[in-house]
């Protein structure tokens, strides 16, 4: 076994980050026919391109790799429309997920043939690969036509797979109806990355604890922490602040209206947050022993609107304590709901809905629960970071 000092040194060798070691990223392959909307999906999600400007994007001529860091590091490959399995330049076994994009208005024959080709090759290279189909540009059709075209695409793909081999009928293939003009794209891509997050059950458990009323569940997650009280939140999301993808949510079903409302709120904070800056209060020595009165209203030391978190430079020692911006807004009196925003990590934020009377009476309790929630998420985030950097070998 060796001495405790030797055991500590051996552990440090395991967990010490390797210099110049490449970051281990989960790779997502984005393929489809020409002008199906692959590049616009990436630009809207990860580059904050307005949806109306996607019409002016140039067609992709070569494979482009987009690295993106959320709770796990991702690498998304944007492929031109003429790419094939043979001309991809990398084996399909390197990818965790394949997302195939089909224009809902397009003729289905050519996209379906190409999709089946990738499915067959991917299943042979990696039977555990995640296969997703985005039936895209859904905003172009009326609701009835949209549903009918979606059903036809689904049926034709499954029939074509059955013609290839009866074994492919059991392939777990997921279809999503998406558009860059609403939040169906964010919801679909969120479900894609959920399958790549090994720590997802722990994040969901923390969100359940934040919303739950069960004392036994609280004690199981925080056995050594003070007893947490009920927040009474009907729904909570852990959002990636830039892309508006939710990396986890609680166990209650995701309501489309609630998801859209939280995305709108996050979009508003992203737009106006940079206008504000966190200004910690400073203590000034008194100039006089005589108290003075002022009729001017008190000035808050920090704005409610969140400011973008600054990533600390590891080479420079930080002297100021970390700040975690937060915000809240109440909806109309006819719908007494309050949305709350709390930054958890530099890229993740907790967005929760609360009944307004509950929030007004239990605001301190909500903040207390957020502190422990933030601590748990940051520990999980640190483990995922160490794993991607090769610090954890087991």
Dig out the tokens for 231 from the structure.
């927040």
Confidence category of residue 160, pLDDT binned at 50, 70, 90: very high
Query: pLDDT > 70: what percent of the chain?
Result: 76
> Which DSSP string do the residues of 306-333 spell out, in sequence order?
PPPPPPPPTTS---SPP---EEEEE--T
Separation CA 234–CA 250 (nearest Å):
9
Torsion of CA 119, 122, 128, 130, to 10 degrees: -60
User: 134 with 101: CB under 8 angstroms?
Assistant: yes
User: pLDDT, tens digit, for every residue of 314-359?
Assistant: 455 555 667 788 899 988 767 788 999 999 998 999 999 988 888 8
User: 106 with 70: CB under 8 angstroms?
Assistant: no
Return all residues near 215 (Cβ < 8 A) that are at least 6 apart. Answer: 227
Q: Which is more confident, 238 or 303?
A: 238
Torsion of CA 155, 158, 160, 166, to 10 degrees: -140
Separation CA 354–CA 336 (nearest Å):
9
Separation CA 109–CA 321 (nearest Å):
59
Mean local confidence (pLDDT), 88-93: 92
What is the pLDDT at residue 325? 85
User: pLDDT, tens digit, for every residue of 29-87?
Assistant: 999 999 899 999 999 999 999 999 998 999 889 999 999 999 999 999 999 999 999 99
User: 280 with 303: CB under 8 angstroms?
Assistant: no
Phi/psi of residue 186, nearest 5 degrees? -65, -40
**Closest Cα to residue 70, out of 394, 391, 384, 393?**
384
What is the pLDDT at residue 373? 93
User: 252 with 234: CB under 8 angstroms?
Assistant: yes
User: 17 with 391: CB under 8 angstroms?
Assistant: yes
Separation CA 279–CA 82 (nearest Å):
53
Name the H helices within the chain: 4-15, 38-46, 109-125, 143-164, 184-194, 200-211, 215-221, 256-272, 356-361, 363-388
Mean local confidence (pLDDT), 125-138: 94
3-state secondary structure of 19: coil
User: 44 with 25: CB under 8 angstroms?
Assistant: no
Separation CA 285–CA 272 (nearest Å):
34
**Closest Cα to residue 322, out of 276, 371, 273?**
371
Helix (H) or strand (E) holding 234: none
User: 242 with 48: CB under 8 angstroms?
Assistant: yes
Any idea which residue has 């089946």 for tokens? 116
Cα of first residue to Cα of last residue in the chain, in angstroms, is 19
73-78 and 64-69: which strand pairing?
antiparallel
Separation CA 183–CA 239 (nearest Å):
13
What is the pLDDT at residue 238? 96
337-343 and 326-330: which strand pairing?
antiparallel
**Closest Cα to residue 339, out of 275, 266, 277?**
266
Res. 15: pLDDT tops 80: no
Separation CA 245–CA 241 (nearest Å):
8
What is the pLDDT at residue 392? 54
235-240 and 246-249: which strand pairing?
antiparallel
What is the pLDDT at residue 123? 92
Between the ranges 162-176, 265-279, 313-327, where is the mean pLDDT highest?
A: 162-176
What is the pLDDT at residue 279? 58
pTM over 0.85: no
């Amino acid at each position: 076994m060796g001495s405790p000092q030797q055991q500590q040194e051996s552990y440090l060798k395991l967990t010490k980050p390797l210099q110049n070691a490449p970051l281990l990223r989960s790779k997502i392959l984005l393929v489809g026919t020409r002008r199906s909307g692959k590049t616009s999906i990436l630009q809207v999600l990860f580059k904050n391109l307005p949806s109306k400007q996607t019409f002016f994007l140039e067609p992709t001529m070569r494979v482009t790799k987009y690295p993106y860091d959320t709770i796990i590091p991702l690498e998304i490959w944007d492929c031109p429309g003429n790419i094939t399995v043979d001309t991809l330049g990398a084996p399909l076994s390197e990818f965790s997920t394949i997302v195939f994009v089909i224009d809902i208005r397009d003729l289905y024959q050519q996209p379906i043939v190409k999709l089946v080709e990738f499915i067959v090759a991917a299943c042979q290279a990696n039977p555990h690969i995640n296969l997703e189909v985005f039936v895209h540009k859904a905003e172009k059709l009326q609701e009835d036509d949209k549903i009918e075209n979606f059903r036809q695409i689904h049926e034709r793909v499954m029939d074509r797979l059955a013609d290839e081999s009866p074994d492919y009928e059991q392939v777990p293939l997921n279809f999503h109806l998406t558009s860059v003009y609403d939040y169906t794209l964010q919801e679909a891509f969120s479900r894609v990355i959920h399958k790549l997050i090994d720590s997802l059950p722990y994040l969901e458990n923390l969100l359940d604890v934040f919303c739950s009323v069960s004392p036994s569940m609280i004690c199981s997650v925080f056995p050594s922490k003070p007893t947490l009280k009920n927040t009474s939140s009907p729904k909570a999301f852990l959002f990636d602040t830039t892309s508006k993808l939710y990396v986890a949510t609680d166990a209650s079903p995701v309501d489309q209206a609630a998801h859209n409302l939280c995305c709108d709120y996050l979009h508003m904070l992203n737009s106006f947050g940079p206008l504000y800056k966190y200004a910690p209060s400073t203590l000034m020595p008194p100039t006089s022993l005589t108290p003075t009165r002022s009729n001017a209203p008190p000035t808050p030391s920090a704005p409610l609107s969140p400011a973008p978190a600054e990533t600390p430079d590891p080479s420079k020692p930080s002297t100021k304590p970390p700040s975690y911006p937060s915000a809240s807004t109440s909806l109309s009196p006819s719908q007494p709901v309050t949305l709350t925003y709390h930054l958890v990590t530099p890229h993740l934020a907790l967005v929760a809905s609360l009944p307004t009377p509950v929030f007004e009476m239990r605001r301190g309790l909500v903040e207390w629960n957020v502190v422990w929630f933030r601590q748990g998420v940051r520990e999980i985030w640190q483990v995922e970071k160490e794993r991607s950097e090769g610090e954890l070998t087991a």
